[in-house]
Each structure stands twice: as structure tokens, then as C-alpha cells.
Amino acid sequence: MTTSVQFRNVALLAATGNLGSKILNSLQRRPSRTRGFLGPNLKTKMATFHDGGEKLVCSTSTEDIGKAVALMLQKPAETRNKPVYVYSTLISEHKMTDIVSKITGHEFGVQHADVQRDADAYLDDLKNGRTPANPWARFNLYMLMMYGEGYGGNYADTAMNETLGLRVMDDKELEEKVAGWLSN
């Protein structure tokens, strides 16, 4: 996922010879975290599990994106002209729902979604000139990218966290982070 954080630092990257490098991450913003994007929807008390809800995806905090940019600038030889993947945690929709339920005391109903079927239906609507009934249907393509077979929602094996010295949150830190999101 490309974020504006990447583009704000182009001049800084160019000055270090890293113009061809960029930070690749899965930024999770607060509204997406509390409205069902990663499982639980606090408003509806429902959780959506895509393809079972157990697939792990990388998620990156805004703070860690900033740290990654700073660390990348300190290691130009390791990062020059390379895609730099970073993440703060690996999480599934089921795990996020369990964490939010533990913190809030809410029990969430579960609805299941098939990412390939939903993406195909959206593309079929577009191909046939139909306006999708759901205005958010375009996100089915993003869900396919995150959870579909052969796509890149879990890029932990190619991430440069270790090279950069960027830690991955443990379960306790993740729960504290989620509790902070929910209190705002």
C-alpha cells in the first residue's frame, strides 16, 4: 500500500541516494480499525471474517512508518533502490476481534466473506456497466489483495524490520495499542 508518508520524504531520500527506495506497508488508520476493516465493527457489533478470518496480514502503525523512514536513511547501502517492506504486527481478523472483544466486553456476531467471489462480483458489475449495489464494493479488490491466495497481505518474510532494527509488537503491546485506539 502506498501512503502519503512515502512521498513527503522524497527530497530527504534523494539527498541520501535512496530516491528509488520506498517504504511499503499496510497502514491501519483508526476509522478502518473500528469499522470492520480488520474484523470487528464496533458500530454494528459484527465482525467480518474474509476466507475464515485466520489469515495473517501485516499491519503498520504510523509511528513505525516514521521510524522506518528514519532508519532507512541511516542505512543507505542496505536500502538503496529497494522496496522496503516494514510492519508493526502480524494479525488476523479473528485475533483482532478477540482483542477488541476482550477490551470492550462486546460479543461480536460473525459474517463470512469469500474474497475471490466478492472481487469477481464487483469486477463483473463494472464489466457489464452496472453500478455496484454496495458503494464500498471497490474494497473487495483490496480484501482480495490482503487475504486472497497468492497475494501480499502477509509480507513478513520479505520485510526489512530486522535489517532496520524495527521491532514487531508482541501480543501485550498489540493489546495496549488497540486499547489506545479504542479510547480515542
Q: What is the pLDDT of residues 112-159, one digit of tens each?
A: 999 999 999 999 999 999 998 888 888 888 888 889 888 778 999 999
Does 37 map to a domain? yes
Q: At 89, is the pLDDT very low, low, confident or very high (cuts 50, 70, 90)?
A: very high
Does 166 map to a domain? yes
**Residue numbers of the domain that contains 65:** 4-114+152-179
Does 10 map to a domain? yes
Does 138 map to a domain? no
DSSP annotation of 79 reads: H
Position 11 scores a pLDDT of 40
Position 75 scores a pLDDT of 93
Q: Name which of 28-37, 106-115, 149-158, 171-180 the model is least confident about.
A: 28-37
Q: At 169, is the pLDDT very low, low, confident or very high (cuts 50, 70, 90)?
A: very high
Spatial separation of the C-alpha atoms in residues 114 and 3, rounded to whole Å: 27
Does 19 map to a domain? yes
Tell me the longest C-alpha to C-alpha distance in the chain. Answer: 51
* Length of the chain (residues): 184
Does 36 map to a domain? yes
Position 35 scores a pLDDT of 59
**How many domains does one find in the chain?**
1
Among 160, 124, 140, which Cα is nearest to 37's? 140
Does 144 map to a domain? no
Does 123 map to a domain? no
Q: At 34, is the pLDDT very low, low, confident or very high (cuts 50, 70, 90)?
A: low
